[in-house]
Structure 1
Amino acid sequence: MSAADRNRPAPGHENAAKAAHLSVMCAEVVSALNPRAGEVYVDGTFGAGGYSAALLAAADCQVIGIDRDPTVQVHADRLSAAHPDRFRLLQGRFGDMAELLAGIGVDAVDGVALDIGVSSMQLDQAARGFSFQQDGPLDMRMGDTGETAADLVNSRDEAELADIIYLYGEERRSRAVARAIVAARTEQPITRTGELASIVARVVRSTPGIHPATRTFQALRIAVNDELGELRRGLVGAERLLRPEGRLAVVSFHSLEDRVIKRFLDRRSGKLTGGSRHMPVAETAPRAPSFRPLHKGAATAGDAEMAINPRARSAKLRAAVRTAAPAWPDDDMQEAA
């Protein structure tokens, strides 16, 4: 399921639109982090501030939010006004959290929360270009800099587009979609979400409950924002920052994201002792585990939350506790890909 589908209000739920703006599995994330007075926590994907607000309410702790989207400042201002000495927002990517926190003199924290993927607020704004259900500029940037989705679809060759759509969208008709995009852009540049959705719909068969453009839009969004690379960097950053017994809680919504998180935690906890089958690792001695799982496997949202918040239906929470072992080398994340 794409981020667009998981954020679409479900028929019959009058509270769905409101629920779409709630942080998914918020209670479970706070429980996993177990906030305590005097400790410091990072909300690496601040958004509307749901996790931050819940952490601040749970204990007399400090919270540092991070977000690359400048439009979230209004939510940060609200929390800053309510907790002037306990909350602050840093603008930037959560993959750069270690460097961002070093810039304010923080070199260790007690917990990190991450909610991976596009936010419902971004989907709801047609001008952001994330949604195929609302016509808008073909943008898809989570921040306000860098290449847009329009830049990508109008400049990449057919083979590269097909690879992006297949790898990040798991779209079986990726080659046909890429051909259709290249053919359409010879007539005029593709600049609107509605245009692209129509192009894809001509070559991808519709299935019940899933728009034909779902997987293509997901793939372009992931590519534009380097979401999987950002996730890997964020996990490594959290490993560097967390004190012994500090906690990491990551909520994801798609198998691509969850696979990266699972392999990272399995490897760091000693469950996986080698690289992937494509990249075996020869180690002279096993590295000491830098994490231990907080619970077996991934936790999922409860029935009550899923009933009012469609986004929770595909959510998975993985959490772990930092050990006293040194952080592993950065290049080890290539093995977790």
Structure 2
Amino acid sequence: MTSFSHIPVLLNEVLDEFADYQGTIIDATLGLGGHSFALLEQNKNINIIGIDKDIEAIALAKERLNIFGARFKALHSSFSNGIKDILSKNDNIIGILADIGISSYQVDNPNRGFSFYSDSLDMRMDTNSHLTAKMVINSYSKDELHRIFIEYGEIKNPTFITKIILDYRKNHTINTAKELSQLIESHSKINSKIHPATLVFQSLRIEVNDELGELKRFLNNIENLKKAKVAIISFHSLEDRIVKEKFKTWAKSCICSNDTIKCICGNNHKKGDILYKKPIIPSQNEIRANKRSRSAKMRCFRFYE
């Protein structure tokens, strides 16, 4: 069997959320199957359908979870399309888990181009898709680069970063993640524990994989669930904000516009409850054991019958 080093984020907290459930849970972002393995091992009364757009991750997860036999099934798909397909064929879904961060397997695989030190510049979660980070960084216009750095990286100096890249592109093609990270690092004057190229890489990854659009479509596709719990783990403020606002919308009984003087919608549109006022975050012990967990936030929602 292939060796795995993946450490699932907020694992104990995820296990607590689904400890007493019976039925089918969808692991919408299967990855290497760490959460699914632990859930199936803990609770003999659940089955899991895992979704992932990364065909390599699907293969590795199947290898890892084949000990559970028919209790586990996998679907190769984006999680927004996959969830729509599964829900159209199943009416007994009692839980959905989505860990929407990049998997450690993708970061650690030098051929995937996610790492600062990779000799490729790919960043596709689905290797069958067309757009790569190399295409973005070498072909996007000044305005397009500026846009993604602001929208997806919330970079404070997007004009400066864009100029560095455009100036370099006059005489060079940026072929590797290592080359790009070194270019940005060489122009950075800020001493920080975080690599100076972090937000640029985040911007590229979100653009290449349409991550925010994918998350929004996923949430729209599950909003008519009944009697099910949803747990979503995000890793940066853009994702967390989308999840937070969608949960707040689902929890509203009145959906009239703010300028409506008197409710005319019927005041009965509440879909369920937000389970915690604040997101669940990793303990200091978990962060010490797995530094990649430090920015994780989990929000949970329970749909009514």
Q: Distance in 1 between matches of 2:270 and 2:184?
A: 45
Q: Distance in 2 between matches of 1:312 and 1:19?
A: 17
Q: Distance in 1 between matches of 2:192 and 2:36?
A: 37
What SS class does the counterpart of residue 195 from structure 1 fall into?
A: helix
Choose which of 277, 282, 293 in structure 1 pairs with 2:274: 293
Q: Which residue of 2 aligns with 1:237?
A: 221
Q: Distance in 2 between matches of 1:153 and 1:110?
A: 42
TM-score, normalization by structure 1: 0.82
Q: Which residue of 1 aligns with 2:47?
A: 62
1:203 Cα offset (Å): 3.5
Q: Which residue of 2 aligns with 1:136?
A: 119
CA RMSD of aligned residues (A): 2.3
Choose which of 204, 209, 213 in structure 2 pairs with 1:220: 204
Q: Does the 8 Å CA contact 2:100/2:233 hold for their aligned counterparts? A: yes
1:79 Cα offset (Å): 4.4
Choose which of 118, 123, 128 in structure 1 pairs with 2:102: 118
Q: Distance in 1 between matches of 2:66 and 2:9?
A: 24
1:119 Cα offset (Å): 1.1
What SS class does the counterpart of residue 113 from structure 1 fall into?
A: strand
Choose which of 171, 181, 193 in structure 2 pairs with 1:197: 181
CA 1:120–1:274 in 2, change beyond 3 Å: closer, same or farther?
Answer: farther
Aligned-residue identity in percent: 33
CA 1:135–1:312 in 2, change beyond 3 Å: closer, same or farther?
Answer: closer
Q: Which residue of 2 aligns with 1:262?
A: 244
CA 1:113–1:102 in 2, change beyond 3 Å: closer, same or farther?
Answer: closer
What SS class does the counterpart of residue 84 from structure 2 fall into?
A: helix
Deviation track 1:246-302 (CA, whole Å, cap 9, x = no partner) reads: 100011111111111111111111189577xxxx78784146111201222211112
**Structure 1 unaligned blocks of 5 or more:** 1-17, 325-337
What SS class does the counterpart of residue 243 from structure 1 fall into?
A: coil
Choose which of 117, 138, 157 in structure 1 pairs with 2:141: 157
Q: Which residue of 2 aligns with 1:106?
A: 90
Deviation track 1:6-59 (CA, whole Å, cap 9, x = no partner) reads: xxxxxxxxxxxx99721100121122234533x000001111101111221222
Q: Which residue of 2 aligns with 1:74?
A: 59
TM-score, normalization by structure 2: 0.90
Q: Distance in 2 between matches of 1:209 and 1:185?
A: 28
**Structure 2 unaligned blocks of 5 or more:** none
Count the aligned residue pairs.
298
1:320 Cα offset (Å): 1.0
Q: How does 1:320-331 map to 2 (within 5 A)?
A: 320-324=301-305
